Amino acid sequence: MKNHAAKTLIVSSLALSFALSAGAAIPAGDAVFKAMKDEMSRSMAKLQMGELQKPYALSYEVLEGQSLNVSASFGAVESMYVSPYRRLKTDLRVGNPAFDNSNYAPDRWSGYQTENDWSLSLGGDSYDSLRYSIWATTDKAYKKALETHSKKKAYKESKNITELFDDMTPQAPFELFLDPKTETLDADLWRENIRKVSAVFLKYPAVKYSRVSLSFQSGSARFLDSNGSAFKKPDCLGAINIEAKAYAPDGFIISGGGDAAFCLAKDAPALETLLEKAETIGKRLSEMDKSSQIKAYIGPVLFDKDAAGKFFDHFLVQNISNPREVWTTPNSWSSESVYRRAGALVERLDMRVLSPFLAVTDDPFARYYEGKPLIGSYEVDDEGVPAQKLKLVEKGKLLDYYMSRAATRDFKKSNGHGRADFNEYAAGSPSNIFIQAEGNPAKVVPEADLKTKLLEVCREQELDYCLLVKGLDSLSEPFSAYRVYVKDGREEPVHGVEFTGTSLRALRDIALVSKELYVYYPNWSTPGTIIAPSILVAEMEVKKTESKPEKKPYLQHPYFAK
């Protein structure tokens, strides 16, 4: 991903059309692009089964490059492999832009997926081999599209659905051609780095399970659609995941972890940073090894750094993403008729969804924040639409949400956020989300003062202690936290915590935020980053979990039993 100012950008302003544009100027001498374009032209002109419909829209995306994967546990490497890859994704539509085969899952078992070829010819740039693979995948996609479109039409009629929104809105053709270079990491060096990080947990007998993994892929993404859009750009993503588990005295599993993400090889985290992160996780789990359960609690909660990132992910970001529901036909083992529901905040456009001193911006052009890489960066989305910076929330009011080319009641065009992983159809998705205070300095305090403010609120409410959350896997499952005692500020670990009655109201109950912002890498299907402050929520309700503990191992971990 090169400097944005250095990009060679060609934007076509041709008339809108769903027919293949002859003006898609693919790079000369690129056998992959040529095979894509030739097979697309043939398919759009001649692909038809009997008297059934022809495709009205078709897109191909080819990802290629090299990947490195390493995993280790307690100082021993479990697996490592380096491999090239070249994969084809096909999105073929039948019907028409108003109603096609998208936004419908034929059944829950097969899911809502595009037709793909995970092993597109790696034998150089053989045009004939590439054409064969693209042809075979297109044929499967066409047959699947016909069947899905028929089932979706029957579903609509059976449910008497009259309010419909276009499945594919018009879009001006767009072309972008960059010069991607496949980067590599030193496999032997990173094998040893991951092993060393995993060995940190040998110092902590409380840790009963640990795994440290690295995945890195670097290469290019080619895209071509029958609307005349085309791009070639860098495609890269690196992630290092550290996870560990311990047992509370009563047998509850306590989880801890941390993630680091990057795109360019030069941005891979330093070994010292990863060792420090592993030490922090080990120390926290050792504290939790002696934790107790919490009783019912109603009061302020302080979400610290990564925990705040998870809070915003759960309550805000997921609820302004995927604005179109994906239908599915109920069956004998599931009566649910929606495969994927729209984000819960989508219906609250122009309403206050956050505390009035908070603003939210999504910036796909941002590359770094205070030296840390932001992995949600892109120039053009997965539907060939130019990326756009969005003002999502201002003074707590929701102004916008993520849009792909599938229309909603509020918006009839994409805002450049149609993104998807390799198996998915594109949907409105986030990139780099900045959550910041604006207009009320009294609501912003240094990170070091947030705990003091928490205790002040506790005293006002005549509470003996308040709740501090430092790490958080999920807000919908039991987690661990800390009691912070008003008397002396002492922190005492607790586990088996569950929020009860928690709703989107929590977003509007944010009372204070830290001056500092922190980079959080959420576990989304597409790369993205949340940049947010630590937060003090005025009131949340907590209860003791009803989940039952596991049986602890009868024998000690063999390493520590020596």
> Residue 7: pLDDT above 60?
no
Domains belonging to the chain, first-starting first, are 4-267 (3.30.2290.10), 291-325+338-544 (no CATH)
Rg (CA), the chain: 25
- Per-residue model confidence (pLDDT) at position 28: 86
CA distances for 70 relative to 146, 238, 240, 422, angstroms:
41, 12, 9, 21
Distance in angstroms (rounded) separating the CA atoms of residues 446 and 272: 26
In this structure, what is the dihedral angle of CA atoms 158, 159, 162, 163, given to the nearest 10 degrees? -140
Distance in angstroms (rounded) separating the CA atoms of residues 388 and 398: 17
Mean pLDDT of the residues in the chain: 91
3-state secondary structure of 353: coil
Is residue 500 within 8 Å of 311, Cβ to Cβ?
Answer: no
Q: Read off the amino acid at residue 370.
A: E
Among 285-289, 344-348, 413-417, 441-445, which is the least confidently predicted range? 285-289
What angle, rounded to 10 degrees, do the helices at 31-46 and 127-158 form? 40
- What is the rounded average pLDDT of the residues 440-465? 95
* pLDDT 10s digits, 156-179: 999 999 999 999 999 999 999 999
The distance of Cα 368 from the centroid of its chain, to the nearest Å, equals: 18
* pLDDT 10s digits, 514-529: 999 999 999 999 999 9
Q: Read off the amino acid at residue 203.
A: K
Distance in angstroms (rounded) separating the CA atoms of residues 33 and 387: 22
Is residue 200 within 8 Å of 276, Cβ to Cβ?
Answer: no
CA atoms within 13 A on the CB side of 305: 7
* pLDDT 10s digits, 74-98: 999 999 999 999 999 999 999 999 9
Distance in angstroms (rounded) separating the CA atoms of residues 469 and 473: 11
Q: Read off the amino acid at residue 421.
A: D
3-state secondary structure of 441: helix
Q: Which of 367, 363, 370 is nearest to 434 (CA)?
A: 363
